[in-house]
Amino acid sequence: MKKSLLALAVLGAFAGAASAQSSVTIYGVVDLGVVKTNGGTATNSGTGWTLTAPATKAYQVAQARASRLGFRGNEDLGGGLSAQFQLEHRFAPDTGASSNGAHFWQGRSYVQLTSAAAGRVYLGREYTPLFFIANRSDPFGWDGVGQMGKAYQYAGFNTPDTIDGSAAEADVRTSNTIGYETPSFGGFTVNGAVSLSEATQKGRDMAVSFVYAAGPIYAALGAERVYKGVMQKQGLMNAAFHYDLGVVKLMAYYARSKTATPTVLTNVNTIPALGVGRDRNNAFTLGALVPIGQGVLKAAYGRTDPARSNNIRQKLGVGYDYLLSKRTTIYADASGAKEDQRTNNKAFSVGLRHVF
């Protein structure tokens, strides 16, 4: 009897230790607001709906930040080694519809092994290293009508990603990815990733970023290129510098891309001649975050000059986030975009966001 009780006590101790070393977190975002545009045709990026023609002038209920439901898991393996996973589903809360179609975990879907001394290795579907540089350099975080987003920060570059295996998809994530990120060395980190094409129409994508983030300074440089497939020789270089003065955080961002036409395929049998139609496009954005009262003022300006298109694009975005708590925010954003040979596009939104 005493032996049985001792065995149960030992098993209980091990079970307690195991449960203390692993955890799963449910997280998400629910975001909705009222959005209005004047229906202009200039490129004006916004999450949750289209802000360019043929967008109507009607008031709409839409999200600024993409709403999502996700799961994160962590297990401490001991000796500074741990394992993690992340699964993320996107949805539209105004209708309840999935934003991912049949691909439930399209947002993020990866598993990784992390060493405190050696860094992390991740595999699956994840954002490219260059996305984090661009996203962090947008005061709106690629959210809502004020955002600079891909239209003003990626200079026309698209990752050669695909979901259904039949066409290239304009995205900032890559599937079939193998990546490695170093630990921080005095604020300096390197993140490199390779997305295996697994099909000739996509092409292999390779990217690397170098980031220094310490104290008030954030400085970053990234490079990405597509190899093989119909999108081969396309690429993106971006750089950013931020300085936090306390009363205001200033951001500067520059990108240069090499693109081909078409970048998005509708017919995999239509393959452009290699080396034909390569364009070099430039883009830059300036931004600021200013703490005011119980919130933060956001402001950004972006300009991009697509090669051979004769249509310089410019956008100004302003907004204010009022923090009801660490998780709940009321926001009000506005933007104006103009583009050569197109009509001015103005938009505003007021909404509520809850993060859990």
pLDDT class for 10, splitting at 50, 70, 90?
Answer: very low
Q: For residues 116 and 129, is the Cβ–Cβ distance under 8 A?
A: no
Based on the structure, what is the number of domains in the chain? 1
What's the length of the chain?
Answer: 356
* CB contact set of 145 (below 8 Å; sequence gap of 6+): 35, 37, 44, 46, 51, 64, 317, 333, 334, 335, 347, 348, 349
Kindly report the CATH number assigned to the domain that includes residue 275: 2.40.160.10
Whether 238 is in a domain gets the answer yes
Share of the chain above pLDDT 70, in %: 81
Tell whether the model's pLDDT for residue 14 goes beyond 50: no
Q: What is the pLDDT of residue 157?
A: 87
| Contacts of 99 by beta carbon, 8 Å cutoff, 6+ apart | 66, 90, 91, 92, 106
Would you say residue 18 lies in a domain?
Answer: no
The answer to whether residue 54 scores a pLDDT higher than 80 is no
Q: Taking the complete model, does pTM exceed 0.75, yes or no?
A: yes
- Residue 12 covered by a domain: no
Rounded to 5 degrees, φ, ψ at 226 are -100, 135
Q: Looking at the domain assignment, is residue 197 inside a domain?
A: yes
- The pLDDT confidence band at residue 50, using thresholds 50, 70 and 90, is low
172 falls within a domain: yes
| Domain presence at residue 99 | yes
Cβ contacts of residue 93 below 8 Å, gap of 6+? 30, 31, 32, 63, 67
Domain that holds residue 81: 24-355
Q: Which two tokens stand for residue 179?
A: 């990546």
Could you give the CA distance from residue 61 to residue 247 in angstroms, rounded to a whole number?
A: 34
Residue 57 pLDDT > 60: yes
Query: How confident is the model at residue 232, as a pLDDT?
Result: 81
Q: What is the pLDDT of residue 47?
A: 57
In this structure, is residue 52 part of a structural domain? yes
CA distance 168 to 164: 9
Q: Is residue 19 part of a domain?
A: no
pLDDT, mean of residues 318-337: 97
Q: Supply the pLDDT for residue 21.
A: 66
Residue 164 near residue 198, CB atoms below 8 Å: no
